[in-house]
Structure 1
């Protein structure tokens, strides 16, 4: 796929916008762009394939305590994009005349330059199609692959410049049994290894015979349970979207309010960090701040919170480069001592939960969540998978699962990239271990 030079294009746009400033105006520009390949599979055959090259430019004009925004599509002809940006600037300038002052306006005033450019090793699309056809021959394989270059840029008329451009991929697939049950697998990263993909596929296929056997019917109650990183990730994701937000805590709406107040704790082995060192998200934000790695949970107790510029201004805090809604975008949870080969024996008898879905809160104040078990939930006896378990509803608190019910953590946390393609491929994700819990509550 021919790639578009987004960095050069963005640089030219930034230079022109800054040239057109008047008086005390400040401009902040943000770019979100991609050159991506998409492949959809059904029954191990290609059902849809294509490429996308697109860019979105957000122009922010600030004059004193007033500001206005405009977002436009870019990536065609430079001359046309320059003209559209110039026209947008004129519209914003006119709108500022009647705009009210923003009491919570705050943006970065320092000069900085940051650049992250990481070329990956991605599968060639036609080669990937052949690999799937060969490895999944005879299987009901359904999957979706998205891979390519993701770019993010920032330019401030104050003098700050940020560029983030990485190659990565995200491939998720399911193997369906005639019963209608399925085993879901995922493979994501920036260095494709066909042997790793093949191993993951073979591992899932080896459990299909068990999936086709009579399901174990469980009564509501609490069961000893192992959560894969994907299953734990579904719980963490629900909490992390706003649970570590400074704004949510200041307004007493955080789902982790009791943790931040010291009224609840996790097990001392639980440590979480917004870790920019993972390199899966830009190290700068749209307010013009360099982002910082932030300790969120240290030895089971609340450490710090994510604070964007508006929260900092409103509540008298110090911004640490958080994104606008203050979600985590690069969460790292430390692992433990449970190795992959020992998971089933450590579980002994209980539930092996591969995935969770429809996760929501049933009691926000106590961080209690409900949802359904889904793909590849098995019943294990004496360290051996013996039967599938039909989807069941759960209702339990993260304070329990990562608190007094936490028995062991996986030794090697797994990286899971954000697989959202709604409008554009997302950056970010999380790296979390699997968890062995003494009990997990199923309600029906």
Structure 2
């Protein structure tokens, strides 16, 4: 794959005229997909695909197109040649782009992580064995993803990492199910069996009559999966330098008014340890780590090349989080229930939206296995509840603890292509969490 991409980049270079430049971005994968239902295989397949995005540049003008390629050199070269001709005819009619920033420093790189995954069949056999007798529903995606960049200056970047993501639920009845997942770079059968055993225990509890609680403040424990939904809302412009400058960021008050979170909260974009590539589609190299929030204080932002050009800054990434890391706390995961004492265990959240973006206040719903807890013991499943809370309260004054253990979550998106976003997150114990319905 790498040799094919570099050869294609050389072909593009040879077809340039005059002052033309190009950049191209490859997004490819070789993935096994297996869909499960009622503890059986319902669909399986293998996908190999290559998407190439080509940008032709002349002065401050640019035109862009995308191709689906086969990997056959002659066929792909002919497709690329036709696309170049098409883009070339468009350039004279396009206006100058005042914020076009082209990387002129050649910074080639290569990251190839040899696959540590067993054959997909072995993973499937273990899943089927463990899931026997349960209504196990889910999808497994496994295999390498590839990202590549090339430009007319000779820069070449390559990223190749194999991972797996098993996104699954144990279904009970009606809208009652326990949702879980297991993802990573190495399959550990013991770790999967532990996760399954915990989900099976929750499934038994889910069969008890569900209860409702009155709207109002409650102490809650947010699992890493639930916390991921909340932190993920910061990708709606929260850590974007452009959004901060234009006063549209949900974290604007941290910069403008000095608002802070709990001093135990630190947030990073950790590209070095994530699944996403260390280079951008424009060819700029991302720092291994960008500190965004340190001990509760906003100390950085994500700056795209266009924003860097507009405001005279240095780019450090795209303006959304791709490799999230939240620092661990001190609460042992095994003691989370006893620390919660009486309140609500929230396994999953969904349908999140901002109810007041300027105050970083969010609303959303509990989902799947959320439970009423009394005296450190789960007593009943909880009917669906809506919350409305500010990040400044959840991870500020009302944050009681973060767990010592963290969980790696890998983006399960597979619409069109597998995602490369990841998050390393603890769980969070929060008091006075506001339920409104």
User: TM bucket by the smaller chain?
Assistant: over 0.9
> Take 1:312 and 1:382, find their aligned partners in 2: how far apart are those partners?
52
The alpha carbon displacement at 1:123 in A equals: 4.1
CA RMSD of aligned residues (A): 1.2
Aligned: 1:35 with 2:30: yes
Please give the residue correspondences for 1:423-442 in structure 2 after superposition, counting only pairs within 5 Å.
423-442=416-435
**Structure-2 residue corresponding to 1:327:** 320
Check whether the contact 1:262–1:301 (CA below 8 A) recurs between aligned residues: no
Check whether the contact 2:13–2:152 (CA below 8 A) recurs between aligned residues: yes
> Which region of structure 1 is more displaced relative to structure 2, 186-195 or 237-246?
237-246
Deviations 1:363-403 (A, max 9, x none): 11111111110111011111111111011111111110000
TM-score (norm 2): 0.97
Check whether the contact 2:238–2:249 (CA below 8 A) recurs between aligned residues: yes
**Structure-2 residue corresponding to 1:3:** none
SS of the residue aligned with 1:207? helix
Q: Which runs of 5+ in 1 are unaligned?
A: 1-5
**Structure-2 residue corresponding to 1:289:** 284
**Structure-2 residue corresponding to 1:354:** 347
Check whether the contact 1:112–1:159 (CA below 8 A) recurs between aligned residues: no
TM-score (norm 1): 0.96
**Structure-1 residue corresponding to 2:104:** 109
Aligned: 1:303 with 2:296: no
> Take 1:26 and 1:386, find their aligned partners in 2: how far apart are those partners?
65
2:397 to 379, 398, 404: 404
**Structure-1 residue corresponding to 2:177:** 182
> Take 2:118 and 2:340, find their aligned partners in 1: how far apart are those partners?
36
2:377 to 366, 384, 388: 384
The alpha carbon displacement at 1:287 in A equals: 1.1
1:375 to 340, 350, 368: 368
Aligned: 1:341 with 2:334: yes
> Which region of structure 1 is more displaced relative to structure 2, 112-121 or 176-185?
176-185
Please give the residue correspondences for 1:24-103 in structure 2 after superposition, counting only pairs within 5 Å.
24-103=19-98
The alpha carbon displacement at 1:279 in A equals: 3.3
Deviations 1:294-345 (A, max 9, x none): 111011011111111111111222211x22xx11101111011011111111
> Take 1:215 and 1:150, find their aligned partners in 2: how far apart are those partners?
42
Cα 1:179/1:22, change in 2 over 3 Å = closer
Check whether the contact 1:241–1:328 (CA below 8 A) recurs between aligned residues: no
Check whether the contact 1:39–1:146 (CA below 8 A) recurs between aligned residues: yes
**Structure-2 residue corresponding to 1:11:** 6
**Structure-1 residue corresponding to 2:266:** 271
> Take 2:147 and 2:133, find their aligned partners in 1: how far apart are those partners?
41
The alpha carbon displacement at 1:260 in A equals: 2.1
**Alignment length, in residue pairs?**
436
> Take 1:306 and 1:437, find their aligned partners in 2: how far apart are those partners?
28
> Take 2:115 and 2:434, find their aligned partners in 1: how far apart are those partners?
42
Deviations 1:72-115 (A, max 9, x none): 01124210101111111111112112211111111111011111
Deviations 1:379-430 (A, max 9, x none): 1111111111011111111110000000000112211111111110011211
> Which region of structure 1 is more displaced relative to structure 2, 129-138 or 29-38?
129-138
SS of the residue aligned with 2:85? helix
> Take 1:146 and 1:178, find their aligned partners in 2: how far apart are those partners?
26
The alpha carbon displacement at 1:14 in A equals: 0.2
User: 4+ residue stretches of structure 1 with deviation over 6 A?
Assistant: none
> Take 1:123 and 1:385, find their aligned partners in 2: how far apart are those partners?
37
